[in-house]
């Protein structure tokens, strides 16, 4: 198609470049977009709306998030999870501030140093056996206030569900928040898979966030069926500062924000968020049950959300990776991680489990 400028453009002549029948278990980010989300994007597409968040969809989104998190909640859509975490932590901490986090936390190992490089804060890490902090573990790094030689531990960051596939209970989060607040520290939750945790716990979202004392939340949408987009949700407005400016400065202010906001509206107005998460969790449990029956495969962590961690011979994993994408979680031990998504089917799980069994049989 030739435009007014005389430049030939592809127009509608694009072609599918992938096989939609190929499935992977590397990440729930590999999944497509839920049809209800695509329909919502199309709904918001006609006509013009004010840019940079002054649109009708972003305005209504505030009501949607308050329905889940309470009347004081404020939602700030951003592009991605790293951006959400960077903006959230900046809003809690001065430049000399530090955040206590599990050693396995995404902000520590999977964000290319963005919280430290972009936000200018220090991450104080604590080894954890299951990815979960406790008041006692926090105290390993929560000290040195007033010491000008030490970055000041002024916040705690927890992940729900954790990078190791475990879930904090509401009581555990309450204990962490009370402990942190007693020490003058604020609490951030990285909720990239918060819906999966809610499905496991059987609790409303506010029960283990607002009601437990969490001050600010990075709410994950991409892993739960969105095209793109996460949301910084301020639960305690008294705890944060300058978030509008920090979002812009961190390159997380979308000009056409309505297309992020309408996705969250479709996800959270009804039960789509919970349906998607429940299905992904169910598929992970199905995979766990199937591979536990395969001799030589060891499931090494509790399956509490949509992740399965397993040990099997490295050469078997490498052969399987030629057909099914997944990652080595620990290159030294050979531990692998298999993720289920909202669009993972029972037949996907059964075929993958059968392939694991077949390769293990070849291994002898």
Domain boundaries, the chain: 35-269, 272-363
Instruction: State the CATH architecture for 35-269.
Output: 3-Layer(aba) Sandwich (3.40)
pLDDT at 10: 55
pLDDT at 13: 80
- Residue 209, both tokens: 């966030």
3-state SS class at 53: coil
| Integer Cα distance of 158 and 101 in angstroms | 6
Quick one: pLDDT band at residue 297, thresholds 50, 70, 90? very high
Is 53 a residue whose pLDDT tops 60?
Answer: yes
Q: What is the pTM of this model?
A: 0.94
Q: CATH classification of 272-363 is 3.90.1150.10, yes or no?
A: yes
- Residue 109, both tokens: 């190992």
- C-alpha separations of 297 from 76, 308, 309, 353 in Å: 43, 12, 10, 11
Bigger pLDDT: 3 vs 135: 135
Question: What's 46's DSSP letter?
Answer: S
pLDDT per residue as tens digits for the range 216-245: 999 999 999 999 999 999 999 999 999 999
pLDDT per residue as tens digits for the range 329-353: 999 999 999 999 999 999 999 999 9
Q: Are strands 152-159 and 122-126 parallel, antiparallel or unpaired?
A: unpaired
| Integer Cα distance of 239 and 344 in angstroms | 39
Query: To the nearest whole number, what is the mean pLDDT of the chain?
Result: 95
- Residue 112, both tokens: 């290319």
Is 173 a residue whose pLDDT tops 50?
Answer: yes
Phi, psi of 256 (to 5 degrees): -95, 60
pLDDT at 230: 98
| Integer Cα distance of 231 and 83 in angstroms | 9
Quick one: pLDDT band at residue 4, thresholds 50, 70, 90? very low
| Integer Cα distance of 169 and 207 in angstroms | 10
- Stretch 146-150: mean pLDDT: 97
């Amino acid at each position: 198609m030739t435009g007014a400028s005389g430049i030939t453009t592809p127009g509608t002549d694009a072609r599918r470049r992938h096989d939609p029948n190929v499935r992977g278990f590397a990440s729930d980010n590999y999944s497509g977009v839920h049809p209800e989300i695509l329909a919502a994007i199309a709904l918001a597409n006609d006509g013009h709306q004010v840019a940079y968040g002054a649109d009708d969809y972003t305005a209504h989104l505030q009501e949607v998030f308050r329905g889940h998190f309470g009347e004081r909640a404020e939602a700030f859509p951003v592009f991605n999870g790293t951006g959400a975490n960077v903006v959230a932590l900046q809003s809690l901490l001065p430049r000399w501030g530090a955040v206590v986090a599990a050693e396995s936390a995404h902000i520590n190992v999977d964000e290319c140093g963005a919280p430290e490089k972009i936000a200018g804060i220090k991450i104080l890490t604590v080894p954890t056996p299951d990815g979960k902090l406790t008041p006692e573990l926090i105290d390993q790094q929560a000290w040195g206030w007033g010491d000008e030689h030490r970055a000041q531990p002024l916040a705690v960051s927890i992940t729900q569900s954790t990078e190791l596939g475990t879930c904090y209970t509401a009581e555990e989060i309450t204990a962490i928040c009370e402990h942190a607040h007693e020490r003058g520290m604020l609490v951030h939750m990285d909720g990239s898979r918060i819906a999966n945790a809610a499905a496991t716990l059987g609790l409303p979202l506010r029960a283990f966030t607002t009601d437990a004392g969490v001050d600010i939340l990075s709410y994950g949408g991409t892993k739960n069926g969105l095209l793109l987009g996460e949301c910084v949700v301020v639960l305690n407005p008294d705890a944060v500062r300058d978030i509008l400016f920090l979002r812009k400065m961190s390159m997380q202010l979308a000009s056409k924000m309505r297309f992020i906001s309408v996705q969250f509206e479709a996800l959270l107005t009804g039960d789509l968020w919970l349906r998607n998460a429940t299905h992904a969790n169910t598929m992970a449990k199905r995979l766990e049950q199937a591979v536990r029956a395969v001799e030589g495969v060891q499931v090494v962590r509790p399956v509490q959300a949509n992740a399965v961690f397993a040990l099997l011979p490295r050469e078997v994993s490498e052969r399987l990776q030629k057909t099914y994408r997944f990652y080595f979680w620990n290159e030294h031990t050979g531990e692998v991680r298999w993720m289920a998504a909202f669009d993972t089917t029972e037949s996907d799980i059964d075929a993958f489990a059968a392939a694991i069994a077949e390769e293990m049989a070849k291994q002898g």
